[in-house]
Homo-oligomer: A and B are copies of this chain.
Amino acid sequence: MVIILEKNATEGQIEDVIRHLESYGFQVHKSTGVERTIIGAIGVQPNFDTRKISILDGVSEVYRITTPYKLASRSFHEENTVIKIKDVEIGGNKVVLIAGPCSIENEDQIFRMAKVVKDAGGRILRGGAFKPRTSPYSFQGLGEEGLKLIRAAADENDMLVISEVMQIDHIELMEPFVDIYQVGARNMQNFSLIKELGKTTKPVMLKRGIAATIEEWLMSAEYILSSGNRDVFLCERGIRTFEQYTRNTFDLSAIPVVHKKSHLPIIGDPSHATGLRDQVPPMARAAVAAGADGLMIEIHDDPENALSDGPQALLPSSFTKLVDELRLIARAIGREL
């Protein structure tokens, strides 16, 4: 922590600041300049509330000099994390393709969709069993029955399953059916839930909260990592801004930033980011071009009758065409898909 004193801070105030820092366990370095005094405080409390110092008399500014996360940071773990599940790698040179319907609706649908994804080269099948909807009057998912269906559909196609976990008691219920737990944007800071996921042995995909800074997102990853589970990857899905012509603003600059700050893989979800099918292909292409380690895309072969989010689902034919373009883009930057 670095503390900048006010220009006119008195000796008494400076001593009081130092006394406080020492009482909080920091090692203190005072450096007196011509105009101002600067204090460096070295310590081991990554989560120290710096406001405790900023409210002291004579203090002008306080800067935390370490990131509040540790296990998630690139400086703790220089090499990229590569998560291996059976023969699928997330975070390696190959861009991973996750696709499937928003909700698991019935057996036929999930089996049809699994085949579409598989044929296009996807190895991970997505599908929601518990639907967190803004409206209490909307379809809320098939529950456990849905999980059984998606597992069967994935198995038939030699694929992995990812599905969203909504509450703590779902973790155990979902365990036999999924390969990856998905944490939705609204639960990114549901600390009770993510701490429990940190105790499981399956990988977790952590979506960015709609208004979460990258730092908060990495702090939530830290919750999972520090509870023991090191297989975490991130998913950018759009942030909330003032713009109204788009549903969310797909923050693709988060991709190079996360790659710099952290060793964790990061993928993009253009379906939720844009909310409208015709914007999915350009944004999917942009995500791969920006360096995403994977994509998660929603598809449906009868979007008009989809039980949720039909308007953002790609038709199988558009999906297949898109994957061809993505393959070329991946190659242009030295990766595969």
Q: Write the residues of chain A forming the contact surface with B, with a CB cutoff of 8 angstroms.
A: 2, 4, 6-8, 20, 27, 29, 31, 33-36, 38, 40, 42, 45-47, 49, 51-52, 54-55, 60-61, 63, 65, 68, 75, 132-138, 166-169, 186-187, 189-193, 195, 209-211, 213-216, 219, 222-223, 226-227, 239-246, 249-257, 260-261, 273-279, 282-283, 285-291, 303-304, 308-312, 325, 328-329, 331-333
Q: B278 near A260 (CB under 8 angstroms)?
A: yes
How many copies of this chain does the complex contain?
A: 4
Residues of B within 8 A of A252 (CB): 250, 252, 282-283, 286
Q: From known contacts A136-B222, A239-B249, A286-B286, infer whether A192 and B211 are also in contact, taking CB-CB under 8 Å.
A: no
Nearest B residue to A195, CB-CB: B136
* 26 A-B residue pairs with CB within 8 Å: A27-B33, A45-B137, A46-B137, A47-B137, A47-B138, A52-B310, A52-B311, A55-B276, A60-B75, A132-B191, A132-B192, A134-B219, A166-B192, A186-B190, A187-B190, A213-B245, A214-B243, A240-B242, A245-B261, A249-B253, A252-B282, A253-B283, A256-B278, A289-B289, A289-B329, A328-B332
Q: Chain A at the B interface: mostly helix, strand, loop or mixed?
A: mixed
Residues of B within 8 A of A209 (CB): 211
Given contacts A38-B40, A47-B135, A285-B333, 6 further A-B contacts (CB under 8 A): A47-B134, A49-B311, A52-B311, A241-B242, A244-B244, A253-B279
Q: Report the separation of the CA atoms of residues A244 and B87 in the bound assembly, to the nearest whole angstrom.
A: 37
Min CB distance A260 to B, Å, is 7
Nearest first, the 9 A-B pairs at minimum CB distance are: A211-B211, A51-B311, A328-B332, A47-B135, A289-B289, A285-B289, A286-B286, A286-B290, A167-B192
Q: Report the separation of the CA atoms of residues A19 and B334 in the bound assembly, to the nearest whole angstrom.
A: 37
Q: From known contacts A289-B286, A291-B282, infer whether A273 and B250 are also in contact, taking CB-CB under 8 Å.
A: no
Residue in B65, B192, B239 whose beta carbon sits within 8 Å of that of A36 in the complex: B65
Q: A289 near B291 (CB under 8 angstroms)?
A: no
Q: A283 near B256 (CB under 8 angstroms)?
A: yes
Q: Report the separation of the CA atoms of residues A106 and B40 in the bound assembly, to the nearest whole angstrom.
A: 33
Q: B282 near A51 (CB under 8 angstroms)?
A: no
Q: B40 near A33 (CB under 8 angstroms)?
A: yes
Residues of B within 8 A of A193 (CB): 167
Q: From known contacts A136-B195, A191-B133, A219-B134, infer whether A274 and B246 are also in contact, taking CB-CB under 8 Å.
A: no
